[in-house]
């Protein structure tokens, strides 16, 4: 049971922020994310920059996990509640899957269960989710629990979607209250997993199906992220810095995202409807080794992508120097393989993970090739004649590619935005087609 003082203080904050139907928007914040110029500032800015989202700041409750974060919240926002963390220290950056990270995630699930128990519906949003449009217009009616996805397969009912715990809309009722208790208690069954992975384990459990919990998965076309973009600026509601590790990396990429959004908002209405803006993509900040792909699956952190050794950006440090030596000497373990094939074999080697090499795979939407084209001329950075054998074949198709590019460059800026040019390649280079 929660103490009366705890509930009355929390009740006061929730009541003050609540919409007419007892719905609140909740996020959590620690000192690392609350510092000036960090995630919290960008989060609040997104509400002000978004289309009809500023009003939701009146309903946003920031749950602070330490005194510094609480003081910073009070300086910027009116609905702040400091969560009792029972001696745990959540002040610093909680690195993914460390003990502090797991403890913080489970404390969050326990707290959200309390909010449901008090009769409040909530939209939970991670602080690295940028609010760009009103999400309530897109939520499903008469659903208990709806959640964003890292990867969405097109069917909102399909439990095989990959949910993302950083954005969900939950209605308070007997089913959701029971579900959150079951979710929280399931941490003991899966002690080494974080809340999102445990959700993936229990979503098909007979206990959940027997309670008739109505679950829906939100499309990444509207609720996107860095794992799977919401590509259409005219549709996007939220964008989440998922599939992105490290506070500095998140801040860097979210700043770029908001800059892209500002450019879109500044367009005349007719250009918004007719142009096809896209999210900027640059090299990742503070990454040791980033490499293009023959085939990219949408997640830059996923090592099961197929790297292409023909294009990479590598920073000189102790980790990369060691890694290149390890890669070179690994040729003796795989004598019949070329260097790209050896890289594929060693990229998940325990020694590489122990070395803490920061590795990212580059999206073929920007760094494309003949195997997987970068389709959008307004986004492409490089194109590689991969999956192409024979010098004459490469020369032939690269000449055609450059002719396509010349035609694109000769267009007016307006035509570039509104037309949909496409590559005439591959022609002779069809090895992988």
Quote the DSSP letter at residue 188: G
Q: At what angle do helices 174-185 and 99-117 cross, to 10 degrees?
A: 160
Quote the DSSP letter at residue 169: E
By residue count, the chain amounts to 433
Quote the DSSP letter at residue 38: S
Would you give the distance in Å from CA 363 to the centre of its chain?
Answer: 14
The per-residue pLDDT for 85 is: 64
Residue range 119-161, pLDDT digits in tens: 999 999 999 999 999 999 999 999 999 999 998 999 999 999 9
What is the token pair recorded at 410?
């000769």
Residue range 158-183, pLDDT digits in tens: 999 999 999 999 999 999 999 999 99
Q: Which residue has the tokens 């309670």?
A: 211
The per-residue pLDDT for 101 is: 57
CB 429, CB 388: distance < 8 Å: yes
Confidence at 40, pLDDT banded by 50, 70, 90: very high
Give the H/E segment covering residue 46: helix 39-49
Residue range 330-389, pLDDT digits in tens: 999 999 999 999 999 999 999 999 999 999 999 898 899 999 998 888 888 999 999 888
Q: At what angle do helices 318-329 and 339-346 cross, to 10 degrees?
A: 110
Average pLDDT over residues 312-323: 95
Q: How far apart are CA 26 and CA 167, in angstroms?
A: 10
* Strand pairing category for 215-217 and 80-82: unpaired
Residue range 222-256, pLDDT digits in tens: 999 988 888 899 999 999 999 887 888 899 889 99
Residue 99 has pLDDT above 60, yes or no: no
The per-residue pLDDT for 378 is: 80
Quote the DSSP letter at residue 284: P
Residue 7 has pLDDT above 80, yes or no: no
Range list for CATH 3.90.550 in the chain:
4-225
Fold classified for 4-225 = Spore Coat Polysaccharide Biosynthesis Protein SpsA; Chain A (3.90.550)
pTM of the model: 0.70
Query: CB within 8 A of 19, min separation 6: which ones?
Result: 59
The per-residue pLDDT for 281 is: 65
Other C-beta atoms closer than 10 Å to the C-beta of 402 total: 12
């Amino acid at each position: 049971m929660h103490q009366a003082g705890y509930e009355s203080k929390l009740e006061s904050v929730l009541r003050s922020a609540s919409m007419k139907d007892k719905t609140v928007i909740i996020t959590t914040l620690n000192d690392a994310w609350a510092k000036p110029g960090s995630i919290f500032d960008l989060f609040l800015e997104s509400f002000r920059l978004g289309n009809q989202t500023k009003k939701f700041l009146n309903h946003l409750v920031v749950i602070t996990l330490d005194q510094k974060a609480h003081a910073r919240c009070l300086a910027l926002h009116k609905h702040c509640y400091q969560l009792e963390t029972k001696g745990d220290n959540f002040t610093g950056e909680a690195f993914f899957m460390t003990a502090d990270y797991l403890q913080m995630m489970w404390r969050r699930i326990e707290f959200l269960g309390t909010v449901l128990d008090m009769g409040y519906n909530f939209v939970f949003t991670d602080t690295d989710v940028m609010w760009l449009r009103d999400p309530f217009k897109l939520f499903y009616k008469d659903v208990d629990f709806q959640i964003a996805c890292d990867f969405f397969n097109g069917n909102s009912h399909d439990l095989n979607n990959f949910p993302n715990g950083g954005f969900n809309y939950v209605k308070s009722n007997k089913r959701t209250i029971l579900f959150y208790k079951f979710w929280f208690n399931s941490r003991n069954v899966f002690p080494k997993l974080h809340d999102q992975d445990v959700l993936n384990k229990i979503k098909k459990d007979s206990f959940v199906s027997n309670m008739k919990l109505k679950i829906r998965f939100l499309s990444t076309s509207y609720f996107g992220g860095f794992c799977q973009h919401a590509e259409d600026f005219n549709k996007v509601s939220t964008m989440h810095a998922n599939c992105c590790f490290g506070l500095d990396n998140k801040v860097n990429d979210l700043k770029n995202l908001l800059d892209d959004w500002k450019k879109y908002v500044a367009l005349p209405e007719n250009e918004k409807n007719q142009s096809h803006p896209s999210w900027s993509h640059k090299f990742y900040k503070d990454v040791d080794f980033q490499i293009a792909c023959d085939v990219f699956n949408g997640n830059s952190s996923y090592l099961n992508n197929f790297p292409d050794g023909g294009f990479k950006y590598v920073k000189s440090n102790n980790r990369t120097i060691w890694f290149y030596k390890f890669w070179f000497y690994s040729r003796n373990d795989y004598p019949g393989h070329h260097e790209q094939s050896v890289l594929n074999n060693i990229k998940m080697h325990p020694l590489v993970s122990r070395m803490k090499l920061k590795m990212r795979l580059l999206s073929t939407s920007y760094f494309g090739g003949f195997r997987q084209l970068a389709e959008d001329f307004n986004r492409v950075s490089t194109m590689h004649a991969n999956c192409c054998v024979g010098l004459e074949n490469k020369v032939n198709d690269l000449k055609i590619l450059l002719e396509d590019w010349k035609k694109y460059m000769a267009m007016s800026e307006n035509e570039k935005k509104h037309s949909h040019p496409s590559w005439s390649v591959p022609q002779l280079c069809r090895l992988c087609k």
